[in-house]
Chains A and B, each alone.
Chain A
Amino acid sequence: MTTQTTKTPSAPASKDGATKGLIGLPENIGRALATIGGALAVVSTFLAWTWTSAFPGDLTVYGYPGGLQVLVLIGGALTTLFGLASYGVKGLRWLTPAGADGAIKLAATGTFATTWYTVIAISDELGGVVNLEPGGFIAAAVTLAAFLGAFSLPFERPEEEHIDEDETVGERIGRIWRHIVALLKSAVFTPSPVPARKLPAFAEILVIVAAMAVGLTVFTYGIGTEYDELFVGFLITVGFLFAALSKAGLVARVSAITGRHSTITMFGAFIAAALFPFTQSDDQYATIGVYILIFATVALGLNIVVGLAGLLDLGYVAFLGVGAYTAAMVSGSPSSPFDLHLPFWLSALLGAAVAMVFGVLIGAPTLRLRGDYLAIVTLGFGEIFRITVLNMDGTSGPDITNGSNGISSIPNLDILGFDFGLEHTILGFTIGRFANYFLLMLLITLIVVVVFKRSSDSRIGRAWIAIREDETAALAMGINGFRVKLIAFALGASLAGLAGAVQAHVTYTVTPEQYQFAHVVPPNSAFLLAAVVLGGMGTIAGPLVGAALLYLIPAKLQFLGDYQLFAFGVALVLLMRFRPEGLIPNRRRQLEFHEEAEAPAVLSKTGA
């Protein structure tokens, strides 16, 4: 109680009660409660929470946390660590460069939410609270205590809005809602952290390696979640803990370091991703991995068109289709009209080239339009592609694409004697078919990332951003707008075509249904755009994260069933309301949307 008050942002605690916590407990009790509650939550995960293994994950074992308990364990541990750091414990200060209170609140909330979700899920699925062992009750109680304790930490309350005398009911609800939002926001508010002193280069690289390892672990865990409950718990825990870490200022610290070593970070991330198949014992999750990569790569290509050049393209998936169909037709498939079997590098290049030609053909007439008109025209062209392919079946058109049956039995790739269809043993690890394609696709992703990075930081990339910012001024600066936009469009198209060439081999079959505007399964134009917007426009990491989430959530939450698209819509609306710049914001856009926030005046690195 002596040292921590200097660390909290609300040091002048006696401004006529303006800095009280949300819950009326005294600050010192609240802080102790949160810290000890977190620790007890860790302990409780070693107890049995239920008596039967009917609930997935086997939470019946004493002394060995399983399933959802692991998530609670991590959340509880982090809450305790943040709590201890707020007491000024030596050696933990680095955890909270921006102050601990906001982080404690979010970590405690995450732990509380995961625990209670588990307890409620057990009671619900097994029929009543009788199914809980004492451990379950203890976990629920201590996490609730930690949650209440955390929210009795004081904070600077927002000013009440002026109340209009004759407000309507609607206005009243709006005002109360805004007040609640502002209250919650300021409850977890922390000032931006002080810039860290530079670490020695090897230490910074160690930090990057550690961050990559954490990232790989989290991602692998998320892909490997075997049942709905665990995935929901995973999302809750990861969401809150990530928010807690960023409130603590750690995320800003790490991204400052990765910004300084962007090349090392990039290759580190790809090595981490390449290690993923080696962490898997069978091919089941590599399948998900390769589909995520295809989706993410195409989303990244779209990000050049949408995020950099600001051209809203609603028919982008057509270029993936062009690439896939091109590669399929020259793959030696029996249902292809051409009796050709080109090596992969040639068919991939051909796929990219044909997609680029289509990009130019579609772009040349449409890119003279601006804004909404362009969006509508590209939407139309995307559908035209699909319907054309559907009709070229020999009855309603020339027999080229085999209509709705598509081009099937596309043979597996064979590069330099390495058959992608077979299992291989590398260094004692068995790598199956999808893992092979995962590694190949990763290479394509790397190409697209490099293309994105290099083109965005160049004369042409600056011209794209200038056009996005103000087309008239850009033209007056001597930029040939049409030409530059066409380059963006063609480049985006050819990258999608490249990804399509691999996709054709992964899926065995290409059919027109895979390339619709909106569909339950990604990739499709709507989901691609959603991945870009959700992840963060104009960044590299944004579409990758967005695509991973958009693929995993429908794949993992089978119970949503018919409500999948509805839930997707709700999530998008909420995200756009509260974080319009996306999960991983470009620094420019963050400033654009949060002007009132204390903006770092200096933008040291361009782009992401």
Chain B
Amino acid sequence: MTTDTTTVTGTTVLDARGVTMRFGGLTAVRNVDLQVNSGEIVGLIGPNGAGKTTFFNCLTGLYIPTEGEVRYKGTVLPPKSFKVTAAGIARTFQNIRLFANMTVLENVLVGRHTRTKEGLWSALLRGPGFHKAEAASRERAMELLDFVGLANKAEHLARNLPYGEQRKLEIARALASEPGLLLLDEPTAGMNPQETRATEELVFAIRDKGIAVLVIEHDMRFIFNLCDRVAVLVQGEKLIEGDSATVQGDERVIAAYLGEPFEGTPGDEEAAEVEAAEASAPSDATPGKENDR
């Protein structure tokens, strides 16, 4: 689809400025800026331990940034995760966190919590308003299940769904809060190529609904297919930000993933020397070269 519509310059939805997160002496995220505009899919990549999830948690109110601020549509985010959701940022989790013993439909209905107002009294008295709101919620939830393709499993327990569908349900549940920005934390982790492909289509469809998407992922092909912009986080700092081609071609990114080349790249003769030494050594003394056999 439209992978290189890099400049759909909508309004800025998310504006993180100078976000720094320290845990005691450890600085997990240092001075990161990130903007997400409406109608955009932005990817956040980085090696393990780069601080991606910490940064995510700063965006969703789970952590309060030590320095810097995060604005959603111009207002500073409140420091509680349920208030962040109410403001319009919804998220999924890296390790699926569904309400396992609730049905698929109920999971999505829980996602509607911030967009409905019926309190305890309304539930106890069951006036016409209650029934109307319940019916509307159910209808909306079924629409969302239809959207992710789980409508026929509405009454199943969430725990009984296969893995890929649990991921989809998590997305549907997040969408139920009618967010302006959706944060996906490794949405394709553990998926096979077909499922990854389907998730890609789903994310495009979400973008087409006018919801901005920020996605953390390890699957590079997925990210570069999907995202209008990609930001690379290394050791808590933003290394580079740009479109797929820019990021893919950047040496520092390759270095961050594959390791720094030596100071003054190793000459050919040095490499040959090493190879010769390894070849002459007995085979059991060459750990880490299991590809030889």
Contact check, A469 vs B99: say whether CB atoms are below 8 A apart.
Answer: yes
Q: Is the CB of B101 within 8 A of A476?
A: no
Does any Cβ of B come within 8 Å of A601's Cβ?
yes
Residue of B nearest to A538 (CB): B101
B123-A462 in contact (CB<8A): no
B177: interface (CB < 8 Å) = yes
Segment among B3-11, B34-42, B151-159, B238-246 that sits at the interface with chain A:
B151-159
Return A94 CB to nearest CB of chain B, in Å: 27
Q: How far is B119's CA from A475's CA once the two chains are assembled, in angstroms?
A: 17
Contacts of B156 in A (CB 8 A): 601-603
Question: What 1/0 flags go to B109-150 for Cβ under 8 Å of A?
Answer: 111111010111011101000100110010000000000000
User: Measured between alpha carbons, how far is A589 from B100 in the docked complex, in Å?
Assistant: 11
Q: Give every chain B residue within 8 A of A591 (Cβ-Cβ).
A: 101, 157, 159
Contacts of B124 in A (CB 8 A): 450-451, 454-455
A281 sits at the interface (CB 8 A):
no
Question: Does B98 belong to the interface (CB within 8 Å)?
Answer: yes
Q: Which of B116, B130, B159 has the most CB of A within 10 A?
A: B159
A41 at the interface (CB under 8 A from B): no
The residue on B at minimum CB distance from A586 is B101
Give min CB distance, A65 to chain B, whole Å: 47
Q: Which of B66-74, B81-89, B215-223 contacts A (4 or more CB under 8 A)?
A: B81-89
Given A454-B124, A460-B120, A479–B110 Cβ distance below 8 Å?
A: yes
Q: How many residues on chain A are close to B (CB under 8 Å)?
A: 37
- The answer on a CB contact under 8 Å between B97 and A472 is yes
Known contacts A466-B99, A469-B101, A477-B85; is-contact A603 B119 (Cβ 8 Å):
no
Smallest Cβ distance from B187 to chain A, in angstroms? 15
User: Which of A450, A470, A472, A479 sits near B113, CB closer than 8 Å?
Assistant: A479
Contact A603 B103 (CB under 8 A): yes
A465→B157 CA distance, assembly (Å): 13
Which one, B97, B106, B114, contacts A478 given CB within 8 A? B114
* B101 contacts A588, C-beta separation under 8 Å: yes
Residues of B near A473 (CB, < 8 A) are: 93, 97-99
The smallest C-beta distance from A591 to any residue of chain B, in angstroms, reads: 6
Whether A15 sits at the interface, judged by CB under 8 Å, is no
Known A478-B113, A479-B113, A588-B157; contact A462-B102, beta-carbon cutoff 8 A: yes
Q: Which of B246-271 contact A (CB under 8 A)?
A: none
Give the residues in chain A near B102, CB-CB below 8 Å: 462, 465-466, 469, 588
In the complex, chain A residues whose CB is within 8 Å of the CB of B111? 477-478
Alpha-carbon distance A334/B87, docked complex (angstroms): 57
Contact present for A606 and B177 (CB under 8 Å): no
In the docked arrangement, what's the CA distance between A602 and B104, Å?
10
Please tell me which one of the listed residues B90, B110, B157 contacts residue A474 in the complex, with CB atoms under 8 A apart.
B110
Give the chain A neighbours of B60 by CB distance below 8 A: 476
Q: Does A487 contact B (CB under 8 A)?
A: yes
Cβ of B120 and Cβ of A462 under 8 Å apart? no
Q: CA of A462 to CA of B119 in the docked complex: distance in angstroms?
A: 12
**A451–chain B nearest beta-carbon distance, Å:** 6
| A606 with B103, Cβ < 8 A, contacts A461-B123, A462-B110, A588-B157 known | yes
| Interface contact A606-B123, CB-CB below 8 Å | no
Answer yes or no: A171 CB below 8 A from chain B CBs.
no
Shortest Cβ gap from B157 to chain A (Å): 6
Q: In the complex, are the beta carbons of B123 and A478 less than 8 A apart?
A: no
Complex partner residue of B82 from A451, A481, A592, A601, CB under 8 angstroms:
A481
Given contacts A478-B86, A479-B82, A603-B157, contact A458 B93 (CB under 8 A): no
What is the bound-complex CA distance between A474 and B157, given in angstroms? 17
Contacts of B30 in A (CB 8 A): none
- Residues 263-289 of B contacting A (Cβ, < 8 Å): none
Query: Considering the chains assembled together, what is the distance between the CA atoms of A287 and B97 in angstroms?
Result: 49
CB pair B109–A476 under 8 Å, yes or no, is no
Are the CB atoms of A463 and B113 closer together than 8 Å? Answer: yes
Q: Tell me which residues from 549 to 592 in chain A have a Cβ below 8 Å from any Cβ of chain B.
A: 588-589, 591-592
Known: A601-B156, A601-B160, A603-B157. A589 touches B110 (CB 8 A): no
A459, A472, A602: the one contacting B123 at CB < 8 Å is: A459
B109-A478 in contact (CB<8A) = no
In the complex, B167 has a CB within 8 A of chain A: no
Chain B residues, Cβ within 8 Å of A470: 97-100
In the complex, which of the residues B100, B101, B110, B157 contacts A477, with contact meaning CB atoms closer than 8 Å?
B110
Contact at A458–B118, with CB atoms within 8 Å? yes
B100: chain A residues within 8 A (beta carbon): 469-470
Q: A459-B118, A473-B93, A599-B160 are in contact. List 7 more A-B contacts (CB 8 A).
A: A454-B123, A459-B123, A469-B102, A476-B90, A477-B82, A479-B82, A588-B102
List 20 A-B residue pairs with CB atoms under 8 Å apart, sorted by A's residue number: A450-B124, A458-B118, A458-B122, A459-B133, A460-B118, A460-B119, A463-B113, A465-B106, A466-B110, A474-B99, A476-B90, A477-B82, A477-B110, A477-B177, A479-B114, A487-B120, A588-B157, A589-B101, A599-B160, A603-B157
Binding site for A on B (CB under 8 A): 60, 62, 80-82, 85-86, 90-91, 93, 97-103, 106, 109-114, 116, 118-120, 122-124, 126, 130, 133-134, 137, 155-157, 159-160, 173-174, 177
Binding site for B on A (CB under 8 A): 450-451, 454-455, 457-463, 465-466, 469-470, 472-481, 487, 491, 588-589, 591-592, 599, 601-604, 606
